[in-house]
Structure 1
């Protein structure tokens, strides 16, 4: 749960840069780190949900992935990647491949 705040910041900041010219700016401006933090606390503590973070050399979270097995998934030993976010200034450095 200690990573929830950093994950929330990456989540909101990625939405704001990625969807800048796609989503209305007033919608993006209303995104809240605090609301996302609450969501990520639930995601992190949810049984069967797996969340991994990528940090820079200073220990700051610059990206994350989330996934797990959905209830409707009947394939043994499989799961779904449900989110992958990397801050714009940390993209194209191979973080997503790792």
Structure 2
């Protein structure tokens, strides 16, 4: 298993992880009709655009030529704080969760954030998503809860922050 920077040819593999992990992670949280409507083809187009955007930092976890997970970072339009950026997503196929791959992806993106000069990183996670404990374990501190709507359902999203990127990079080695 290797962690490496994503390239355009990874878009279909990232799209598969994105769709499959949303369907397993958010089952019972996000309306099933929305999850059923996710498409590999549409997500492949999205990921080609994301990879082409130089403002995004994207790494993949690859095992024997198959993309099994990914992590993305980039400063959201809503983040106006100097020296801060955002961990925008981290997903693994369900069968690869709990095997330290998420930790390795987190470490890689934190190193990239340090190289880009960021000292503070925000991450948004659905309150009902049990994997939010992963961020807490690596030192993310709760900031606030916001309300959002997905497919007609009101959900709550918790916002966390890491105030010391170097410390997170060290802890996630």
Deviation at 1:70, TM superposition (A): 3.8
The structure having more radius of gyration, on CA atoms, is 2
Show the 5 A alignment for 1:47-62: 47-56=54-63, 58-62=64-68
Where in structure 2 are there 5+ consecutive unaligned residues?
1-7, 105-173
Deviation at 1:74, TM superposition (A): 3.8
* Counterpart check, 1:75 vs 2:82: yes
| Alpha-carbon distance change, 63 to 74 in structure 1, aligned in 2, over 3 angstroms | same
The DSSP-based 3-state class of the residue aligned with 2:102 is: coil
Aligned to 1:12: 19
Q: Matched residues in 1 for 2:31 and 2:54: separation?
A: 34
Q: Matched residues in 1 for 2:30 and 2:80: separation?
A: 31
Higher relative contact order at CA 8 Å, sep ≥6: structure 1 or structure 2? Answer: 1
After the TM superposition, which segments of 4 or more aligned residues of structure 1 sit over 6 Å from their partners?
none
Count of matched residue positions in the alignment of Structure 1 and Structure 2: 96
Q: CA RMSD of the aligned region, Å?
A: 1.4
Aligned to 1:95: 101
Encode CA deviations 1:35-94: one digit per residue, 9 max, x unaligned: 0011111100112211100011x1200000011234544433x42110000111000110
| Alpha-carbon distance change, 80 to 60 in structure 1, aligned in 2, over 3 angstroms | same
Where in structure 1 are there 5+ consecutive unaligned residues?
none
Return the structure number with greater strand share: 2
